[in-house]
Structure 1
């Protein structure tokens, strides 16, 4: 899996109600191209659910985003929530071909990850792996760190192409190799 950062140096130190560049430059384009998007781990009695119930449809233990409505602008707190306040959010893309080039121009620090379960609900991670096996691309935003990171699940062939796009377009590619 490939992981990219969406917030740069501010990391997860942002006001959870604020609008961030990633909302318009990363999340909205992904949602517009998605076959579906879900949130795992949010409860109906949670304040975040109550504040965003107009865009969430209950579906077998999770919530599906209502694609007929604006699900990002005006709902930034749902996306930005950290510390397990909302659970994991996944966006599913049909098939294994997607051009991330423009999206990656607004992201940072691409890296392979071997710990996809960390910071995510088990059910979201499981669904991402299932979608990968079906030949689709799944994107997961962690329950623990809001939109600081997104993890991309894809089959080996697709992931290789996505990694090339990340290398060509993401910012701060050598971040983890810098000597302080």
Structure 2
């Protein structure tokens, strides 16, 4: 029983690693920098998830600056990475959670790209993207510590959440520090 659970978990992790892998087809200097920042080598699931996390951090920075085009560029890099590795997928090959997260990341990134001129709409989609990237970060980690910032939104809504490499970070939802958010963010190592 334990072996079958372990094998199922490892199979899901391996498939997710394949789905998140990417090549060297990034032409912009920002995208190349994201790859260097996110992946020391392209062979591990941590490295492959790290590349997506690095692109996510660029989206976050764009939203903090109020630059929807910078956020869209980060989202476009995520889409490129998810599309580069064209792996045949089915529910039998992938774990359900892995497939759901991958599809959600792809969907949110698509919305961020298509709404580059509407920063408020981008911030709405960033909310879900942050939940998905949080899943990747907690599953695989990142090469640098990440701070998880949370802002309570009441019982009927998801908390605002974002990841940052800084402990004291402005909110990508408003572009400024949020005093109502947690003063001691969780750390993912």
Q: Which entry has the higher C-alpha Rg, 1 or 2?
A: 2
Greater relative contact order (Cα 8 A, min sep 6): structure 1 or 2? 1
Higher strand content, 1 or 2: 1
Higher helix content, 1 or 2: 2
